[in-house]
Structure 1
Amino acid sequence: MAVETSAGTVVPGLEGVPLLGSLLDLTSDSLGTYQRARERHGDVVRITAGPPGLRAELYCVFSAEGAQQVLATESANFRKDNAFYQEVRDSFGNGLLTSQDEDYLRQRRLVQPLFTRKRVDGYAGAVVAETEATVAGWAGAPDGIVDVRDEMTHLALRAVSRILFGTDADATVDVVDRCFPVITQYVLRRGYSPVKTPRSWPTPGNRRAAAALEELYAVCDRIVSERRGAAPASDGDRGEDLLTLLAEAHSADDGAFDAAELRDQVLIFLLAGHETTATSLAFALHLLGRHPEEQARAREEIARVLGDRTPEAADLDRLPYLTQVLKEAMRLYPAAPVIGRKSVAATEVCGHTIPAGSDVILASWVTHRHPRYWPDPERFDPERFAPGAEAERPRYAWFPFGGGPRACIGQHFSMLESVIALTVILRAYEFEAVDTEIPVSAGITLETRGPARCRIRRVTG
């Protein structure tokens, strides 16, 4: 099936079933559906889903060149105006992830100085401390087995909470751990549902989500209020947690964040700052647990570069192979496997016209497996990210952090945290995968549908 656009080009359509189109396929396995769409029909594919009258049309773009066009060169024509982003906005606030136009530009200008490389490198010590605490807790692991997805989620949440809240981290970790799953599942259900009941209706789902949001907002508001009420710190005794810096951020043109804006930024940083890094760490460890030669090479590099000393920010550039391992894990298991936009005007992408007002899907899950850029794409091979190999590929063949003017502001922090955490972990333990395959699905971030267990053995000598 194909549709003629006003420009006369043909957009191939994925075959679906009568009445529902591809709704059931997208509901049960959206990532597999996108992959099949590219294999059957190429780099721009139209997918219809839902019954007549409630049907959605998704224009999926799978090439690196198309991703660059949507995210970078013509980004102004592709906005975060779809139903999914609105649900995220309604639950987690209008922070950097969800804001647009002047709101976004103002927020970015205020926040950018807090994410310079020098500033972010100062958080390396906190990452080391939290990783060492996590590793110490594995000494009594039953049968020497840990679920790396659960463990890395806990580690990443502890690390981002400590960096964001400082001494108040303990007050937030349990609340976030308890409330986030309820809220994220609620956002997903509403974001992909063609019919939404008003949030004010007292349905069981609305009430559970409202209670979780109330508890999460309360702890954030309390800490924000305390920060805003504190006297400004001098350079000598300035608090180094990110919330203190956010509360003090200001400029003559952009003013400062008010209390509600601070909470929005905090919630977005919590959302984007722990689930994404946890995904990258978990799959890096699991892949190494399935590939002992690559694991041994990474551990040899760590020993050669660090010896017995504690890793620090400067080591990020001294551990190229470990960084390649991480990038390859992020290729195979991108934490944000699907990115949505809405087109403003009709736009030609890869020879096909996407109509104005269309829901546009970029699936890094598919682009990262595109055989045009990645020979034998399912194979784990860190050498793909050796300097020479990277230079030969299009810029957007790999885009785990998005790209263009909306690229993730925390990219350097994520890479720093991940490499340092892997360094501490691999110096302490060897990994052997117990669950050789891990089913996944696309949520707000990449979700596992089962355990990701590894058998661990203490490194000796």
Structure 2
Amino acid sequence: MATTAQPAPGRAIPELTGLPLLGSLLDLKNDSLGTFLKARRDHGDVVRISAGPPGMRATVHCVFSAEGAQQVLAGDAANFRKDNAFYQEIRESFGNGLLTSQDGDYLRQRRLVQPLFTRRSVDGYASAIATEVTRLTDAWREEDRGSVDVVHEMTRLALRAVARILFGTDVEAAVAIVERCFPALGDYVSRRGYSPRKVPRAWPTPGNRRATVVHEELYAVCDRIIAERRAAGTAGEGQDLLTLLVAAGSDEDGGFDAAELREQVLVFLLAGHETTATSLGFALHLLARHPEEQKRAHEELDRVLSGRTPGAADLDELPYLTRVLKEAMRLFPAAPAIGRRAVEATEIGGHTIPAGADVIVSPWVTHRHPRYWDDPERFDPDRFTPEREAERPRYAWFPFGGGPRACIGQHFSMLESVIALAMILQSYELEAIDTRVPLASAITLQALGPARCRLRPRTA
């Protein structure tokens, strides 16, 4: 193996000041998002944060500039791997699917899955998405709902949409189990991922036993549906995504066995609903808090759609609605922090990141960086006009990650979000009841309180 020249020692990396015994442990536990913002504000674009008591202390190196994020995720991506403790916990709970696999496993999986996520393939899911949105808005109308928690409602909508696309007619059985099991397993992963010392999973602690139960339930429902699809082959009812995954293969890569199919399904369920739900829920909440911007969205929808159901071909015809979603993803990125581990020492922004260091790039912070964003906390969809986008560095906005590990489902997420947002706004005007929603960072960005909005049916 060829040796790589080590970078010259850079400037000392500043460290966020914490408590003498615990470092920044309590700050990260109580408000990790605010702690990252404070680290950049007080110390710059490359900052060390240490947490935990002596002998158990963990240190992460945070990179907050757009240029640094591009280096970690794209330019030097081979040097920054998904080898950290958090990804290992996701891997052990949800399997070694496309989100967590590496090296040859990842490349093989990506080659097998990529044809199913081309723009043309994804556009074919528009009608399934519209079916679920219609189901939701019909329920609101029939129940005469005066208000809804939009983040909660969009979480359920996004889960049903991705489950329908994955499982077709088996959507109901899958949704019931995933709704019950995913939050518990996600909490378990987050607690273990952030813990400096972990109890072995095999120990019969209450937390481990609860996680085992929900883990087995998830595996069982996926295995049952997969077995039915494999038995039916391509002659099964409908061409849902699972049927296509069962059929996926090539001479070079073979196909997915049953365990690999389950791992891909679980990752698609995890990544495919929580991220889109965050974008949709907060886009609705932001519009509910900003009536002028909501009015502009209504005017565009009325002009372009004239009351009809939107399809994939309408995405390019709804630029303002797309800007609303991009601005929602700037302010509320579904993945507020992205972790990697450095293989070799690397210079970033004049500082040397040591070999073996845990590294975090943070859309939450970079999306608020005053170097790239004027008045960064203000909701302004027009930040994303083509002219203004061209003025910013590529990684000033990266809600889908970037580089060779960028989210394969980017177009699917935007398709679902635009269609759902359009159909809900065609039916309703919204007014915010809760103007502030407390947040936390887990596997994805989490709302800790309600985001309630009043619903006012629109007249034709």
> Do Structure 1 and Structure 2 share a fold, with TM-score over 0.5?
yes
Alpha-carbon distance change, 142 to 311 in structure 1, aligned in 2, over 3 angstroms = closer
**Deviation digits for residues 59-112 of structure 1 (CA, Å, limit 9, x no counterpart):** 000000000000001000000000000000000000000000000000000000
Match for residue 4 of structure 2?
A: none
Cα separation, 1, equivalents of 2:173 and 2:143 = 26
Amino acid at match of 1:417: E
SS in structure 2 of the partner of residue 12 of structure 1: coil
- CA shift at 1:142, angstroms? 7.0
Residue in structure 2 matching 1:155, options 157, 179, 183: 157
**Deviation digits for residues 375-409 of structure 1 (CA, Å, limit 9, x no counterpart):** 00000000000110000000000000000000000
Residue in structure 1 matching 2:21, options 19, 22, 29: 19
Amino acid at match of 1:178: R
Equivalence map 1:131-150=2 (5 Å):
131-139=133-141, 144-150=146-152
**Deviation digits for residues 42-64 of structure 1 (CA, Å, limit 9, x no counterpart):** 00000111011110111000000
Match for residue 41 of structure 1?
A: 43
Cα separation, 2, equivalents of 1:193 and 1:8 = 30
Equivalence map 1:183-198=2 (5 Å):
183-198=185-200
Amino acid at match of 1:221: D
Quick check: 2:233–2:247 contact (8 Å CA) kept in 1? no
Cα separation, 1, equivalents of 2:409 and 2:199 = 35
Match for residue 434 of structure 2?
A: 435
Cα separation, 2, equivalents of 1:347 and 1:267 = 34
Match for residue 289 of structure 2?
A: 290
Cα separation, 2, equivalents of 1:8 and 1:331 = 31
Structure 1 residue 125 and structure 2 residue 127: aligned? yes
Amino acid at match of 1:164: L
Match for residue 216 of structure 2?
A: 214
Match for residue 412 of structure 1?
A: 411
Amino acid at match of 1:113: P
Match for residue 254 of structure 1?
A: 253
Cα separation, 2, equivalents of 1:455 and 1:443 = 28
- CA shift at 1:194, angstroms? 1.1
Structure 1 residue 104 and structure 2 residue 106: aligned? yes
Match for residue 303 of structure 2?
A: 304
Amino acid at match of 1:173: V
Cα separation, 2, equivalents of 1:38 and 1:448 = 23
Amino acid at match of 2:213: A
Amino acid at match of 1:326: L
Cα separation, 2, equivalents of 1:141 and 1:444 = 33
Equivalence map 1:165-204=2 (5 Å):
165-204=167-206
Match for residue 94 of structure 2?
A: 92
Cα separation, 1, equivalents of 2:456 and 2:333 = 28
Cα separation, 2, equivalents of 1:281 and 1:369 = 20
Match for residue 224 of structure 1?
A: 226
- CA shift at 1:275, angstroms? 0.6
Cα separation, 1, equivalents of 2:237 and 2:106 = 27
Report how many aligned residue pairs link the two structures: 454
Equivalence map 1:226-245=2 (5 Å):
226-233=228-235, 239-245=238-244
SS in structure 2 of the partner of residue 270 of structure 1: helix
**Deviation digits for residues 194-252 of structure 1 (CA, Å, limit 9, x no counterpart):** 1111111111101111000111100000011111111334xxx8832000000000000
- CA shift at 1:308, angstroms? 2.5
- CA shift at 1:143, angstroms? 6.6
Residue in structure 2 matching 1:61, options 60, 63, 80: 63
Match for residue 363 of structure 1?
A: 362
**Deviation digits for residues 242-300 of structure 1 (CA, Å, limit 9, x no counterpart):** 00000000000000000000000000000000011000000000000000000010011
TM-score (norm 1): 0.97
Cα separation, 2, equivalents of 1:307 and 1:383 = 23
Equivalence map 1:325-340=2 (5 Å):
325-340=324-339
Cα separation, 2, equivalents of 1:391 and 1:278 = 28
SS in structure 2 of the partner of residue 195 of structure 1: coil
Cα separation, 2, equivalents of 1:446 and 1:8 = 33
- CA shift at 1:145, angstroms? 1.0
SS in structure 2 of the partner of residue 230 of structure 1: helix
Amino acid at match of 2:423: V
Amino acid at match of 1:43: D
Cα separation, 1, equivalents of 2:122 and 2:436 = 34
Amino acid at match of 2:62: C
Cα separation, 2, equivalents of 1:309 and 1:144 = 24
SS in structure 2 of the partner of residue 139 of structure 1: helix
Match for residue 116 of structure 2?
A: 114
Cα separation, 1, equivalents of 2:140 and 2:233 = 41
Cα separation, 1, equivalents of 2:233 and 2:88 = 36
Cα separation, 1, equivalents of 2:9 and 2:138 = 62
Cα separation, 2, equivalents of 1:222 and 1:144 = 39
Quick check: 2:47–2:63 contact (8 Å CA) kept in 1? yes
Cα separation, 2, equivalents of 1:222 and 1:404 = 35
Cα separation, 2, equivalents of 1:8 and 1:278 = 41
**Deviation digits for residues 127-185 of structure 1 (CA, Å, limit 9, x no counterpart):** 11100110111125577110001100110011000000001111100000000011000
Match for residue 276 of structure 2?
A: 277
Cα separation, 1, equivalents of 2:436 and 2:254 = 50
Identical aligned residues as a percent: 71
Cα separation, 1, equivalents of 2:16 and 2:46 = 10
Structure 1: stretches of 5+ with no match in the other structure? none
Amino acid at match of 1:168: D
Cα separation, 1, equivalents of 2:317 and 2:12 = 49
Cα separation, 1, equivalents of 2:233 and 2:111 = 24
TM-score (norm 2): 0.97
Return structure 1 stretches of 4+ with deviation > 6 angstroms.
Answer: none
Match for residue 389 of structure 2?
A: 390
